[in-house]
Amino acid sequence: MPKPFRIGIAGLGTVGTGLVRIVQEHAALLDARAGRPFEIMAVSARDRKRDRGVDLSAYRWVDDAQELASDPEIDAVVELIGGSEGLALDIVRTALANGKHVITANKALLAHHGFELASLAEEQGVSLAYEAAVAGGIPIIKAMREGFAANQIKAVYGILNGTCNYILTEMRETGRSFTAVLEDAQAQGYAEADPAFDVDGIDAGHKLCLLASLAFGVKPDFDALKIKGIRHIKVEDIAYATELGYRIKLLGIARRGDDGRIVQLMEPCLVPTGSPLGAVEGVYNAVYVEGDFVETSLLTGKGAGERPTASAVVADVMDLARQIRVPTFGVPAQELEQAAWAVTGETRSHYYLRLHVLDRPGVIADVSAILRDLNISISSLMQRGRDPGQPVPVVLLSHETCHADMEAACEKIAALACSVEEPCLIRIEEL
């Protein structure tokens, strides 16, 4: 009988508990598909007495999770603690240094320390696997490293945070404000008590950082990523976007320009309603890939939750049990390049611009003069209603223009005496 593949689990939160549940419910199926049995040898978490809804009595309990990283009975450590520093980082470093495979769902850890950890894994001849770190149940890491290996990747676009996508969908469907929908999302468990990590784009940014590395063979560089969340999006922006034939999505963008520099952005964007990403609603995630041979491909599914994320962890366990080894970021770590990142202000796009200005003669002429002086051309203008002397919304769509010029225009428009609110500027991606 083949030797069992033995794992230790550090962290028994939602994903760790889901992993135990899958192993218990599908043990025979997993053993058959892996070609060898795999066993949970030990587990560790902060609270031993907590009822997690699964039977842990068959597994050795370890109070200090660090012990898993040096346990001779364990072939792979599954790190599900989270966080970019502290215990999670220590466990992963120690396990790799001791010649143990590591499986993690920790996107923050890899976004900040991915190159170091990938280098260590390869020096020790072991794998660092992280299918569960990006887009939950969508097998995007395997797709990027293996399925698209024949392609020069041109661009990757992603809806990578289910909480934000849920909030934006609910705002559009119900007409409620960001604050009201966020409170509802927290009540339903879609958003944390402190939602900043999600709604400010940090969680999705970590994931995009890893996808950019895989797509372009560059070192993960979270500090080079420009991030803007969804707090400033208002119901009226969503309504105007809908009227114009768009959806607003928190969109990750990683693409190589003609000059070889890589654009890496995480921000709300307008995408066409009928586009592949425009149709992705609710808590679902999606990744849209452009390659020179595959042309375009869309992968979509639930991006979080116990079952989808635990399923992704098991996929990594299966690969390691089958002795499938691939470089962490698709190429050997020492071949990863330091990316030449595009300057955000120099990127060009079409833009949505919503103003709140006093309804009086000469206002549109003042705004138009600012845009003219910055070489910004308008493709359409929309104003709803007349209310002389009172604030009214004005929506403009631009032709392709420089981001820095659009930001400069917003500053100048905000300084006009007729302007009563900061302009809302949103990039348009015509996917």
Instruction: Give 235-285 pLDDT, tens digit per residue.
Output: 999 999 999 999 999 999 999 998 999 999 999 999 999 999 999 999 899
pLDDT (tens digit per residue) in 389-424: 788 999 999 999 999 999 999 999 999 999 999 999
User: Residue 361's domain spans which residues?
Assistant: 346-428
187 and 164 in a common domain: yes
Q: Has residue 348 got a pLDDT over 90?
A: yes
Query: What are the φ and ψ backbone dihedral angles of 223, each rounded to 5 degrees?
Result: -65, -20
Give the pLDDT confidence score for residue 192 in this predicted structure. Answer: 77
Whether the predicted model's global pTM rises above the 0.75 cut: yes
Q: Has residue 190 got a pLDDT over 80?
A: no
Q: Has residue 228 got a pLDDT over 70?
A: yes
Q: Has residue 384 got a pLDDT over 80?
A: no
Helix, strand, coil shares, percent, the chain, to 5: 40, 25, 35
Contact 10, 44 (CB under 8 A): yes
Q: Report the C-alpha gap between 414 and 74 in whole angstroms.
A: 61
Look up the CATH number of the domain holding residue 354: 3.30.70.260
288 and 408 in a common domain: no
**More confident of the two residues 129 and 385:** 129
Give the pLDDT confidence score for residue 89 in this predicted structure. Answer: 97
Structure tokens at 283: 């808590």
Q: Has residue 365 got a pLDDT over 90?
A: yes
Choosing from 100, 107, 142, 207, which is the catalytic residue?
207
226 is catalytic: no
Look up the CATH number of the domain holding residue 18: 3.40.50.720
351 and 276 in a common domain: no
How many domains are there within the chain? Answer: 3
176 and 258 in a common domain: yes
Task: State the average pLDDT for the chain.
Answer: 93
Q: Report the C-alpha gap between 175 and 93 in whole angstroms.
A: 48
Task: Give mean pLDDT, residues 200-213.
Answer: 97
293 and 149 in a common domain: yes
The one-character DSSP state at 266 is: E
374 and 386 in a common domain: yes
376 and 297 in a common domain: no
Give the pLDDT confidence score for residue 1 in this predicted structure. Answer: 64
pLDDT (tens digit per residue) in 31-81: 889 889 889 999 999 888 888 889 898 999 999 999 999 999 999 999 999
